[in-house]
Structure 1
Amino acid sequence: MIQDDLSELKDENVHMIDGQYKYNGYEYIRHDNSKSGTEGNIGKMLAVKNTLVNDCDQLVIKSVPLVQGKTYELEFMFLKGEELRYTFKYQAQLKKGLLILNNHISKCHGVPYLLGGCEISQSRIGLTKDHHLLIQNYKDNSGAFLLFFWAGYTINYAEKYQRIN
């Protein structure tokens, strides 16, 4: 989906993700690799629930390698001008040139695959060839009624955010 504009991250260059980015995206890519006119923001892409991020204009990311190989701690700092509004940390695994955030969400209702379903989501981040931030989200919603599987939905999309410095 995003391979044509991906700068592959490796152990020796993960620090390149560190930087300051604009809060609003400049390009939204749908699951079929087509571009959409619907740009969002980093807060929505990372599913941040805190309302303090709604009027932010910048994101700063700092990465720290952890002792376990290919595992990193990423600190996300949301700014409005020079004022720090909100901060949080995720651990991430380096895999296939992207950092897979430890923000895996799995919500099930009813008895999955018998009388209910599950919704699963996760995010990956990386850099474009121009070193802008790339966030890719994956969401899957599936379920069944007495083992009759119905077609839920799967959404796979990405958004790009311009690097400030």
Structure 2
Amino acid sequence: MEKIKYLVIILITLLSFSSCASFSEKIIENKTTPLTQEKLQHIEGTYAMKSYDSYIKLNIDKEVQPLKEPKNNTISELTNGQSLDEIVLDKVKVDVKIVADDKIRFLYRIQDSIIKKDSFTFKLQENGMLHLENREIDSSGIPHFIGRIEIKKSRIGLSKNNDLLINHVYFKSNVALILGYSLKNNTSFYFKRLSK
């Protein structure tokens, strides 16, 4: 019985932190072409692997700022947390395809050679963005009391000029008794459309 209580407390805590890792609407405001169920195929196409533009909104800032030194600036790192060899990044192209009403595929290739594939289920939100089911939660200890939690998640959409837009959230909280530290940032990255 005690184990069940402990698990329930941990689940409630994780869910409360998960809501702290919410997306900022301000970072994509007036920068997207909203998708609808009928127009999901508009996101399909071939894109460059590396972003050409990026912005950040920290939890302590009210304004959206250009990201001066983007770190996670590839489609692969933002969707599945995996990086590819720096040597080949400029050669990699990413084919994005809707493969079911709620599933999207990313195919990474150099010319006709496939490097890897990723598929994610998604939910189409009212704002016209696709929220990927790629949430990563890493925790230790007892969050809120003594512990640590990290949450990462992404949503994708189309920019005004028809390029791929990825909005990424990173939330981290460390607590030791009453002393605590938390960081939350929203970043948006833009990837050039190479072909439909």
TM-score range, shorter-chain basis?
Answer: 0.7 to 0.9
Count, aligned residues: 159
Whether 1:42 aligns to 2:75 is yes
Aligned residue for 1:69? none
Give the superposed CA RMSD. 1.9
Match of 2:109 among 74, 79, 93: 79
Whether 1:4 aligns to 2:7 is no
Aligned residue for 1:109, secondary structure, equals: strand
Q: Is the 8 A contact 1:113 1:149 kept in 2?
A: no
Instruction: Give, in whole Å, the separation in 2 of the partners of 1:54 and 1:44.
Output: 15
Aligned residue for 2:193, secondary structure, equals: coil
Q: Which runs of 5+ in 2 are unaligned?
A: 1-26, 58-62
Aligned residue for 2:120? 90
Structure with the larger strand share: 1
Q: Which runs of 5+ in 1 are unaligned?
A: 67-71
Instruction: Give, in whole Å, the separation in 1 of the partners of 2:86 and 2:122.
Output: 22
Identity fraction in percent: 21
Q: How far 1:164 sits from its partner (Å)?
A: 0.7
Query: Deviating runs (4+, > 3 A) in structure 1?
Result: 50-54
Instruction: Give, in whole Å, the separation in 2 of the partners of 1:36 and 1:48.
Output: 19
Q: Is the 8 A contact 1:115 1:144 kept in 2?
A: yes
Query: 1:92-149: CA deviations, max 9, x gaps?
Result: 0001210000001111111111110211110000000111000010011113222x25
Instruction: Give, in whole Å, the separation in 2 of the partners of 1:99 and 1:157.
Output: 16
The one-letter code of the counterpart of 1:90 is: F
Aligned residue for 2:133? 102
Aligned residue for 2:185, secondary structure, equals: strand
Range 38-47 or range 54-63, more displaced: 38-47
Q: Equivalent residues in 2 for 1:138-149 (5 A)?
A: 138-146=169-177, 148=178
Whether 1:64 aligns to 2:96 is no
Range 149-158 or range 130-139, more displaced: 149-158
What TM-score do you get using the length of structure 2 for normalisation? 0.75
Q: Is the 8 A contact 2:138 2:150 kept in 1?
A: yes
Q: Against the structure 1 CA distance between its residues 54 and 127, is the aligned structure 2 distance closer, same or farther, given a 3 Å change threshold? A: farther
Structure with the larger helix share: 2
Instruction: Give, in whole Å, the separation in 1 of the partners of 2:53 and 2:84.
Output: 23
What TM-score do you get using the length of structure 1 for normalisation? 0.88
Q: How far 1:82 sits from its partner (Å)?
A: 2.4
Whether 1:137 aligns to 2:147 is no
Aligned residue for 1:160? 190
Q: Against the structure 1 CA distance between its residues 53 and 102, is the aligned structure 2 distance closer, same or farther, given a 3 Å change threshold? A: farther
Q: Is the 8 A contact 1:20 1:58 kept in 2?
A: yes
Instruction: Give, in whole Å, the separation in 2 of the partners of 1:100 and 1:73.
Output: 11
Q: How far 1:151 sits from its partner (Å)?
A: 2.6
Instruction: Give, in whole Å, the separation in 2 of the partners of 1:128 and 1:98.
Output: 10
